[in-house]
Structure 1
Amino acid sequence: MTHTPTVLFVCIHNAGRSQMAAGFLHHLAGDRVAVRSAGSAPGTQVNPVAVEAMREVGIDISHGIPSLLTMDAVQEADVVVTMGCGDACPIFPGKRYEDWELDDPAGQRIDAVRPIRDEIRRRVETLLAELAQ
């Protein structure tokens, strides 16, 4: 990587999937990647079951604050990963976009959130490997 890429994870409430993805990427990449997350209709807090699931793998996302998706956030990102936010994310030429189809952890019990967490980790690891090329 010649510069520090910025990755923006976007979901509806910025309370579960995008927070977990940001937590994984920050944990795995450290300062090699700038990590952001946002939501098209942000919630008031990070999903406590997502926090619990991430804590099980040694990552604390409890201090995350759901943020509103802005045009500036998308413009500043090199990679935009959407997770179920539909057409809410603006498209800018020259950006890399990925749409990760993942179940929403909202309202789910921990045993339903663990497989979502594990799939997010797998995809984040793949993304990080691609960014390193």
Structure 2
Amino acid sequence: MDNQTIYFISSHHERSLIAEGWASRLKAENITFRSAGWFDAKTNPFSIEAMKEISIDLSSFKPHQIDLEELDQADMIVLIQDFDRDDKIHLTPSSAKKIVTWNIINPEKRSADPTEKWLLFQEICDDIADRIKDLGQTLSSPV
């Protein structure tokens, strides 16, 4: 079977990075998981710290800003957006056919208070974990 690529895309890479971290735990043969930011590729320290709590080290994951050619070649695109707060991400028609959309809050746009923001990052880690488990079942690969 050919290798497949699944991209997790969010506005600034923080939520997609968490998704890639969780996906790295899937026993999915022949699937490469990648993450990227749509608008930029910064990594939020809260993403790294929240995942450290569950023994997933994201510090070696490199921030990546997406290239439309990469998306056109992807087998699946998981678009992670806060429907209420994020700017809409527009993809090419060929990419649009491969999209799965997850409505996950953007902690950066929900609170300016560091303590509240930290709690929101912990919540989205749990939310993304559940969605990755469901994705793993869809891919016939148990978590």
8 Å Cα contact 1:77/1:95 also seen in 2: no
Larger RCO (alpha carbons 8 Å, 6+ apart) = 1
1:25 positional shift:
0.3
Q: Contact 1:50–1:105 at 8 Å: present in 2 too?
A: no
- For structure 1, which runs of at least 5 residues remain unmatched after alignment? none
Is 1:64 aligned to residue 58 of structure 2?
Answer: no
- Aligned counterparts of 1:26 and 1:66: Cα–Cα separation in 2: 16
RMSD between superposed Cα atoms in Å: 2.2
Residue 24 (structure 1) aligns with: 22
Does structure 1 conserve the Cα–Cα contact (< 8 Å) formed by 2:78 and 2:102? yes
Q: Distance in 2 between matches of 1:114 and 1:81?
A: 20
Percent of aligned pairs with the same amino acid: 26
3-state secondary structure, aligned to 1:64:
coil
Instruction: Provide TM-score, normalisation by structure 2.
Output: 0.79
TM-score, normalised to structure 1, is 0.84
Contact 2:38–2:89 (Cα < 8 Å) also in 1: no
20, 27, 45: which one pairs with 1:48? 45
Q: How many residues align?
A: 130
Does residue 76 in structure 1 map to residue 84 in structure 2? no
AA partner of residue 103 (structure 2): E
Code of the aligned partner of 2:72: Q
Gaps of 5+ in 2: 82-86
